Amino acid sequence: VEDDRLVLLALKVASDALEALDAASSEGLEEARAKALTSLGQLLETASEAVGQAIGNFMRKAGGIEVLLDLANDDDRVVHQRALMVLGNLVSDAVDPDSQETKELVLQLGGVERLVPHLKSTDWVTQAYASATVQNIAQD
């Protein structure tokens, strides 16, 4: 019962974050995007297997992976770094046991090609998140 409550709470946070990202998609709302991505990132970093699986499933079905790929190329450094961090967690087997589905979706959406420029970034944090994300995608 406790796991079910945590999953429901996590899904509410993920849903709210995705809604906030959609609402903050226009110029000048970088801080709102960064805040929503931070919420998702913190949730995933502490997620149990059940919570990670539920969030991964939700993000795939709700269009969240597409949103994250778009935000990974946001001009704002904080926004694209946090999007890379969240995406890297969602394609990690350690976070979501069904991450293979997310990896396949990322590949279908041309996600790796969209991440490659970050591997050459002069910002080491961006480079690290992009490298970790690509590494997680490459793992079966």
Give the pLDDT of residue 2: 57
Count of beta carbons in the 10 Å neighbourhood of residue 27: 6
Distance CA 64, CA 83 (A): 11
Instruction: Report the mean per-residue pLDDT for the chain.
Output: 88
User: What letter represents residue 35's amino acid?
Assistant: K
pLDDT band at 140 (very low <50, low <70, confident <90, very high): confident
**pTM for the full model?**
0.88
Tell me the mean pLDDT in the region 102-109.
Answer: 96
Task: Look at residue 25 and tell me whether its pLDDT is greater than 70.
Answer: no
Distance CA 55, CA 42 (A): 12
Tell me the mean pLDDT in the region 118-128.
Answer: 95
Compute, in degrees rounded to 10, the torsion defined by CA atoms 8, 9, 15, 17: -160
Tell me the mean pLDDT in the region 3-20.
Answer: 74
Tell me the mean pLDDT in the region 113-119.
Answer: 94
